[in-house]
Amino acid sequence: MELPELQRNLSRFEELNAQVLGISVDSVYSHKAFADQLGGIIFPLLADFHPKGEVTKKYGLWREERGNGRRAIIIVDRAGIVRFSQVIPKGPPNVEEVLAAVKAIA
């Protein structure tokens, strides 16, 4: 699961002036329960709930057959340009790879 791994490394992202966000098509209530269940996720979790999947679709990650989005890491620079995008299979992301991508655009 990617959120706990990102939470464990949050200070490393903050040192690079990177803002970590989570986004899914679930509601804010689901996000709160999920964050609590994981022991507390302190970075923002955004709800792409209504219209469902609008942001997810714009990033090309929407799965129509499942009604949800693919798990992915996306790095957007200050100008709003996507600089890194990687679909994540089951399991945690490679945090070192993500940090290297952040450093490359910092």
- Tell me: the pLDDT tens digits for 17-63? 999 999 999 999 999 999 999 888 999 999 999 999 999 999 999 99
Asked, as a colleague might, if the bond just before 51 is cis with ω within 30 of 0, I would say yes
Instruction: Using alpha carbons, select from 19, 66, 70, 68 the residue that is nearest to residue 45.
Output: 19
Range of the domain at 25: 2-105
What is the CA 20 to chain-centroid distance, rounded?
7
Q: How far apart are CA 33 and CA 53, in angstroms?
A: 20
| Averaged pLDDT score across all residues of the chain | 93
User: Domain count of the chain?
Assistant: 1
Q: How many other β-carbons are positioned within 10 Å of the β-carbon of residue 14?
A: 12
**CB-count exposure of residue 89 (10 Å: 0-12, 13-18, 19+):** exposed
| pLDDT at residue 1 tops 80 | no
Write down the residue that tokens 């970590």 correspond to. Answer: 20
- As a whole number, mean pLDDT of residues 4-27 equals 94
Residue-wise burial string across 39-75, b where 16 or more C-beta atoms lie within 10 A, e elsewhere: eebeeebebbbeebbebbeebebbeeeeebbebbbeb
- The CATH number covering residue 64 comes to 3.40.30.10
